[in-house]
């Protein structure tokens, strides 16, 4: 339990960097950030895969297809949708929608486990009700002052993309956890590298797709100087950081947590990502959290601790 919680915390701290990057590179479209991040991840994974070449050689064709699906949905589609949603609808509402991930994933994972005969991971709903309610209350408190309504086609499209991103990252951790827990230990690092290698052709395909859209005059981010943008050094540096730390190492730690802990508990631990993103945002803006934000963070932390206690047996 301690090892699994520590791994999930480390993954959350690294994944929080993903949310502060659009603030640092605010003059880059979300599509370019997604392609740059996972292109760097894929290139780095090619070198890191050499460390696990024997393990990767034992993966079947079905395993590589699974890695490709996880990379497409949990990496490229999720981040491109999230970044685009924030650009179209503003930050508050998409962030609020994505912030419900711990609740949505825990509920979906527990529904799946309760349908499996003889499952030891499912828990009664009455034991999950309190931690899930506390987590949801914390998320709503953190974003209560920032949440806003809006109108127009762009706003509605942004909300739709945020819901799509929520669906992507609800499916990813449950599917990833079940794959890992169906196999023996020691696959966390190799599976992270496998997903990185699978991401590379997807990112290259995204670049080709952008070139086609640009030729047709329908590319997102009009006026963007593709491919490195107005600040090449900052862009390349941040993409390398995201590719190595947030993508490869974060995935490795998350795989470790997924192997050690039940899927419904792992789903709740994604709240570490939200907490990390909040801390990094406060550091970027150079201010302390408001009383409402501090209360929300306390509720989030308390909900995670209650959730861990529910699965302690």
The predicted model gives 56-62 an average pLDDT of 88
**Can you say how many angstroms the Cα of residue 231 is from the centroid of all Cα atoms in its chain?**
25
Given a contact cutoff of 8 angstroms between Cβ atoms, the answer to whether 214 and 226 are in contact is yes
**DSSP code, position 214:** H
Q: What is the DSSP string of 28-95?
A: S-HHHHHHHHHHHHHHHHHHHGGGGHHHHHT--HHHHHHHHHHHIIIIIIHHHHHHHHHHHH-SHHHH
Percent of the chain surpassing pLDDT 90: 8
| Three-state helix/strand/coil letters over 240-295 | HHHHHHHHHHHHHHHHHHHHHCCHHHHHHCCHHHHHHHHHHHHHHHCCCCCHHHHH
Question: pLDDT category, 262, cuts 50, 70, 90?
Answer: confident
Q: Structure pTM?
A: 0.76
Name which of 2, 28, 34 is nearest 247 in CA terms.
34
The residue behind tokens 């991840």 is 41
Q: What is the DSSP string of 103-146?
A: HHHHHHHHHHHHHSTT-SS---HHHHHHHHHHHHHHHHHHHTTT
Question: pLDDT category, 38, cuts 50, 70, 90?
Answer: confident
Percent of the chain surpassing pLDDT 70: 84
The residue behind tokens 């949603």 is 85
The predicted model gives 132-155 an average pLDDT of 71
Does pLDDT of 114 surpass 70? no
Does pLDDT of 6 surpass 70? yes
């Amino acid at each position: 339990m301690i090892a699994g919680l520590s791994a999930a915390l480390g993954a959350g701290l690294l994944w929080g960097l993903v949310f502060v990057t659009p603030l640092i590179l605010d003059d880059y479209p979300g599509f370019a950030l997604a392609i740059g991040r996972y292109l760097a991840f894929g290139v780095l994974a090619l070198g890191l895969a050499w460390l696990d070449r024997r393990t990767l050689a034992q993966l079947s064709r079905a395993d590589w297809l699974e890695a490709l699906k996880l990379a497409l949905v949990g990496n490229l589609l999720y981040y491109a949708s999230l970044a685009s949603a924030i650009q179209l609808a503003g930050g508050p509402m998409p962030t609020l929608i994505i912030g419900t991930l711990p609740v949505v994933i825990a509920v979906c994972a527990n529904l799946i486990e309760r349908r499996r005969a003889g499952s030891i991971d499912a828990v009664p709903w009455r034991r999950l009700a309190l931690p899930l309610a506390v987590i949801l209350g914390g998320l709503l408190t953190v974003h209560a002052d920032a949440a806003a309504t809006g109108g127009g086609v762009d706003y509605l499209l942004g909300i739709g993309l945020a819901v799509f991103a929520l669906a992507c990252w609800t499916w990813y951790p449950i599917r990833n956890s079940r794959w890992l827990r169906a196999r023996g230990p020691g696959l966390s690092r190799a599976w992270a590298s496998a997903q990185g290698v699978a991401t590379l052709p997807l990112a290259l395909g995204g670049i080709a797709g952008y070139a086609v859209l640009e030729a047709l005059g329908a590319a997102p981010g009009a006026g963007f100087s593709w491919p490195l943008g107005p600040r090449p050094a900052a862009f390349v540096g941040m993409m390398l950081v995201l590719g190595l730390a947030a993508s490869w190492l974060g995935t490795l730690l998350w795989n470790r947590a997924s192997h050690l802990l039940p899927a419904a508990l792992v789903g709740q631990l994604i709240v570490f990502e939200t907490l990390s993103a909040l801390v990094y945002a406060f550091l970027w803006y150079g201010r302390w959290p408001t009383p409402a934000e501090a209360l929300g963070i306390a509720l989030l932390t308390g909900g995670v601790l209650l959730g861990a206690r529910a699965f302690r047996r």
